[in-house]
Amino acid sequence: MKVLTCTTPGKLEYGIADTPQVKPGSSLLKIKRIGICGTDLHAFEGTQPFFSYPRILGHELAAELLDAGNAKGFKKGESVTFIPYFNCGHCIACRSGKPNCCVNIQVCGVHTDGGMAEYLQVPSNLLVHGEGLSFDELALVEPLAIGAHGVRRANIQPGEIVLVIGAGPIGLGIMEFARIAGAIVIATDVNPQRLAFCKNNLKVAHTINAKDENVMERLKEITNGDMPTVVIDATGNQKAINSAFQYMAHGARYVLVGLQRDEIIVSHPEFHKREATLMSSRNATREDFEHVIRFMKSGLVDPQTYITHRVTFDEVKDQFESWLNPANGVIKAMVEV
């Protein structure tokens, strides 16, 4: 089968690999769609934590089920996606119902080779039914589930003012599910095209261009001086993460969905006097995947609006680097296999 491997930062190479032979407990997928995410782009740049080379990227996937293995309730030929966080099942996180942050986690396309290939073998227990969704839609379930998980971690209540920092695909998903939870959403980014997308496509109430506007003053204006009760970072940018502590209301929650390599730096007195809560949000659970699929089927989330670029599998190598350029207006690039 044909595969595309990130051999070193900045370099992708096509190659040939053996088609996987189905092992006990696994199922075989024929890949149909691959969504390109920030993890893939950061791996290409060489800035992705928990990463080693060479690696076949890709974990936002939609597929045809070729061999269900021992997967109960699944049948050959159906459309599926899967949960790409391979957990051990026995560590403290898994025993606590948190397989998304398993101590021994192996994320497909990060720790193990991913789906930029014609075929992929995955654990049968991580398959997710397609529920009649298209391949395009199924490939977007995983990134939207990450956003849904971050919103669930924040325990957003109707009427709360939620600041989402970063209007990339994960940030957009956070905005969608914060809105569904009843929040008044404020989006901030430095890319005017993405902020326009938030306002026009997601009906975000307020947008702030952090490059051209005084974020603190705009937040005070929007919240009548109260500041947001929930702040969620989806940038993975150290400066943005550290700066956002000052945007929290007293008693607020700050959720880190974005990930960066370095230290979080915060004024302890400023954080302490707010009696603030800081938490991380990693990956997603089956509950989040099913939550996303329900809202896709109901029409409250339209994933097709996210897809701005389409390529075939054979075009990925030549096009990949261009998706790093903000001027190209990429929200979500979708690969057709």
Token representation of residue 216: 């603190």
Domain total for the chain? 2
- 181 occurs within a structural domain: yes
271, amino acid identity: F
- 81 occurs within a structural domain: yes
Token representation of residue 319: 């096009």
Angle between helices 169-180 and 192-201 (to 10 degrees): 30
20 and 58 together in one domain: yes
**At 260, is the pLDDT very low, low, confident or very high (cuts 50, 70, 90)?**
confident
Question: Where residue 113 sits, what CATH number does that domain have?
Answer: 3.90.180.10
116 and 198 together in one domain: no
124 and 150 together in one domain: no
Q: What is the mean pLDDT of residues 72-88?
A: 96
160 and 185 together in one domain: yes
22 and 114 together in one domain: yes
82 and 200 together in one domain: no
- 296 occurs within a structural domain: no
Question: Where residue 220 sits, what CATH number does that domain have?
Answer: 3.40.50.720
126 and 20 together in one domain: yes
- 121-170, pLDDT tens digit by residue? 999 999 999 999 999 999 999 999 999 999 999 999 999 999 999 999 99
**At 326, is the pLDDT very low, low, confident or very high (cuts 50, 70, 90)?**
confident
153 and 267 together in one domain: yes
Residue range of the domain that includes 47: 2-139+302-336
Residue 48: pLDDT over 80: no
**At 262, is the pLDDT very low, low, confident or very high (cuts 50, 70, 90)?**
confident
Q: Are 58 and 114 in contact (CB under 8 A)?
A: yes
151 and 63 together in one domain: no
Cα–Cα distances in Å, from 207 out to 8, 175, 220, 233?
Answer: 37, 11, 13, 15
